Amino acid sequence: MKISLDIELKDIPGQLILALKPISDFGGNIKTVLHQRDKKTPSGRIPVQIVFEIEESKLARLVERLKEGDVNVARVGKERLKESMVVLLIGHIVHTDIGDTINSVDSTGFAEVVELSLSMPGIEKKSSALFTLSAIAKEELKKALDILKEIAKKKGILVISSI
């Protein structure tokens, strides 16, 4: 199962490895680590977000081990969106209501735009955006892409996706 974990670490050397090692010890496969070194929590700790895969039966013991190691576990979440793809949009994205475009996918209940990177070279020029679409399964991801393409066509926006 895919897990998203928000933790808080002391601001001293070696703390990140102390938090990651138990995940490995329990057979977890780390996918991403976002170590926000320049930020602090109200308690003066460093926030870290980790996404990893692990057997569900081992999750509770892992969280307990982290707490025993003085790692503050702020949030544990199971990832429901399992499939993702990156899509490039080119056109007057902002002027055609980017919020509406995103909502067309998000309102499905089975898919979401989970990341956005936007480039606007000038007010009269076309912009480009990278959307990361995530969905609960491959079939739903294809449906979300079809919805996005339909909305984009109505707005005169080009959609480029992987084959």
Name the superfamily (CATH) of residues 2-78: ACT domain (3.30.70.260)
Q: Please report where in the chains the tokens 């909502």 appear, as a residue.
A: 103
Q: pLDDT, tens digit, for every residue of 71-122? A: 999 888 866 667 899 999 999 999 999 999 999 998 888 888 989 999 999 8
Domain boundaries, the chain: 2-78, 83-161
pLDDT band at 55 (very low <50, low <70, confident <90, very high): very high
pLDDT value for 107: 87
Question: 98-137 in b/e burial notation, b at 16+ Cβ within 10 A?
Answer: beebbebbeeeebbbbeeeeeeeeeeeebbbbebebbbbe
Q: pLDDT, tens digit, for every residue of 9-35? A: 999 999 999 999 999 999 999 988 888
Contacts of 89 (CB under 8 A, 6+ apart): 101, 128, 129, 130, 131, 152, 157, 158, 159, 160
CATH class of the domain at 83-161: alpha beta
Query: Which of 148, 4, 147, 6 lies closest to 71 in space, CA to CA?
Result: 6
pLDDT band at 58 (very low <50, low <70, confident <90, very high): very high
